[in-house]
């Protein structure tokens, strides 16, 4: 790694969330990161985004971009079914690689990506940057401080990012396709599973899943529910739905032996998709044996992810979210589907 500077490329700058552009903003916020190359196989997508980054070289073929010897790191920002192949291609070209969530579709794909990183001697990191949402930071901090005692029950409900019912709405074309997205739990569910796994200090034992598909408009399931069983006795339930005629608020409900959290205000997370960081926008309810109080969210510091990545690559700090961490998320998503089909709780191959 060149001293003090990481030269970065992005692959994927699609229209749905303008997400390659957003990665460029986050990279730009870290002085030790420099965006030098941008790739999208769709010339229109590339042509829209490239002018936002003067001096950055554009490519429609990833293999051409990877020929650059001066490229240190690539961020893969493409649809879910492409992640495994593109990440392995980047690693085999000797580039440290960051991949958007979810890491991939299946556990064997995750295994192959981790092995490719090991063989290349390069870092594989998964972009679970929503750990830095203000409400998630506040909840994680309260749990880590021990304010709740031992946490034994968690519910995260992501029925949509608003209280509006999402009944029957299939979502944008590739997110509604099971072959491309992985299924109804792979988008918001990937965030929610990562939040829970990074909060509970215990291995998983089993996953139980309940999947339902009612509408032909999309091949994804309409309603997905996963329950993660942990070795310490904690159980966490995650629900994503487009089949709820009454939608629940986007919800966190956490019970511990000394306290409880109810958070229904995450719509107040402002700035995501446009801003590098976001102000503290809301609050949650905390009840302990001493009484009930309102706890303001922390600021959302999404730029932290690439700062942590720079610390890792330049100074040997831990990987912000390792391939193994990303594989635990995929393990839950895939095992939940297996359990739904079998009608039983299923053991997890990666705890």
Ligand X SMILES: NC(=O)c1ccc[n+]([C@@H]2O[C@H](COP(=O)([O-])OP(=O)(O)OC[C@H]3O[C@@H](n4cnc5c(N)ncnc54)[C@H](O)[C@@H]3O)[C@@H](O)[C@H]2O)c1
- Which residues make up the interface to ligand X (CB under 6 A)? 11-12, 14-17, 19, 39-42, 45, 62, 77-80, 82, 86, 100-101, 127, 129-130, 174, 187
Which neighbouring-strand residues pair with 186?
Answer: none
Using the minimum distance from each CB to ligand X, give the nearer residue, 61 or 292.
61
Using the minimum distance from each CB to ligand X, give the nearer residue, 129 or 241.
129
Q: What is the number of the residue whose Cβ is closest to ligand X?
A: 14
Using the minimum distance from each CB to ligand X, give the nearer residue, 103 or 228.
103
Cβ(252)–Cβ(284) under 8 Å?
A: yes
Using the minimum distance from each CB to ligand X, give the nearer residue, 104 or 284.
104
Minimum gap (Å) between residue 252 Cβ and ligand X: 17
Using the minimum distance from each CB to ligand X, give the nearer residue, 80 or 328.
80
Using the minimum distance from each CB to ligand X, give the nearer residue, 90 or 139.
90
Using the minimum distance from each CB to ligand X, give the nearer residue, 153 or 178.
178
Lateral strand order in the sheet of 346-347: 291-296, 283-288, 259-263, 251-256, 151-157, 235-241, 223-230, 204-212, 346-347
Minimum gap (Å) between residue 289 Cβ and ligand X: 36
Minimum gap (Å) between residue 193 Cβ and ligand X: 13
Q: Tell me which residue of 15, 128, 30 sits closest to 73, measured CA to CA.
A: 30
Using the minimum distance from each CB to ligand X, give the nearer residue, 192 or 348.
192
Compute the half-sphere exposure of residue 191: CA atoms within 13 Å on the CB side of its CA: 17
Q: Write down the H helix ranges in 95-152.
A: 107-120, 134-144
Cis previous bond, 202, omega within 30: no
Minimum gap (Å) between residue 11 Cβ and ligand X: 5
The torsion defined by the Cα of 271, 276, 279 and 281, in degrees rounded to 10, comes to 30
Minimum gap (Å) between residue 299 Cβ and ligand X: 17
Minimum gap (Å) between residue 248 Cβ and ligand X: 21
3-state SS string for 199-228: CCCCCEEEEEEEEECCCCCCCCCCEEEEEE
- Integer Cα distance of 259 and 255 in angstroms: 6
Minimum gap (Å) between residue 39 Cβ and ligand X: 5
Cβ(71)–Cβ(65) under 8 Å?
A: yes
- Integer Cα distance of 315 and 204 in angstroms: 31
- Which tokens is 105 given? 């579709």
In terms of Cβ atoms closer than 10 Å to its own Cβ (0-12, 13-18, 19+), residue 85 is middle
Minimum gap (Å) between residue 73 Cβ and ligand X: 16
Minimum gap (Å) between residue 99 Cβ and ligand X: 8
Q: Tell me which residue of 18, 295, 306 sits closest to 148, measured CA to CA.
A: 295
The β-bridge relationship of strands 57-59 and 33-39 is: parallel
Neighbours of 141 (CB within 10 A): 12
């Amino acid at each position: 790694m060149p001293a003090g500077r990481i030269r970065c490329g992005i692959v994927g700058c699609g229209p749905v969330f303008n997400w390659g552009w957003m990665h460029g903003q986050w990279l730009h916020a870290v002085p030790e990161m420099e965006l030098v190359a941008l790739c999208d196989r769709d010339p229109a997508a590339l042509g829209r985004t490239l002018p936002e980054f003067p001096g950055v070289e554009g490519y429609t073929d990833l293999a051409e971009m990877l020929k650059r010897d001066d490229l240190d790191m690539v961020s893969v920002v493409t649809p879910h079914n492409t992640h495994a192949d593109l990440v392995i291609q980047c690693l085999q070209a000797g580039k440290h690689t960051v991949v958007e969530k979810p890491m991939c579709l299946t556990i064997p794909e995750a295994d192959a990506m981790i092995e490719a990183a090991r063989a290349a001697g390069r870092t594989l990191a998964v972009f679970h940057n929503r750990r830095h949402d203000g409400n998630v930071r506040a909840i994680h901090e309260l749990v880590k401080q021990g304010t709740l005692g031992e946490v034994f029950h968690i519910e995260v409900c992501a029925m949509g990012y608003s209280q509006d019912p999402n009944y029957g709405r299939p979502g944008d074309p590739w997110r509604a396709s099971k072959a491309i997205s992985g299924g109804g739990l792979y988008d918001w569910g990937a965030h929610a599973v990562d939040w829970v796994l990074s909060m509970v200090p215990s291995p998983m034992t089993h996953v139980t899943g309940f999947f339902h598909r009612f509408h032909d408009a999309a091949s994804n399931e309409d309603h997905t529910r996963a329950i993660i069983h942990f070795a310490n006795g904690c159980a966490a339930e995650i629900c994503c739905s487009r089949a709820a005629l009454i939608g629940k608020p986007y919800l966190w409900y956490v019970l511990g032996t000394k306290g409880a959290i109810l958070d229904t205000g995450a719509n107040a997370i402002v700035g995501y998709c446009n801003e590098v960081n976001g102000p503290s926008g809301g609050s949650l309810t905390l009840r302990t044996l001493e009484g009930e109080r309102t706890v303001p969210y922390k600021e959302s510091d999404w730029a932290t992810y690439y700062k942590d990545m720079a610390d890792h690559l330049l100074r040997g700090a831990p990987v912000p979210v390792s391939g193994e961490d990303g594989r635990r998320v995929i393990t839950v998503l895939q095992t939940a589907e297996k359990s739904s089909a079998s009608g039983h709780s299923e053991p997890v191959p990666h705890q």
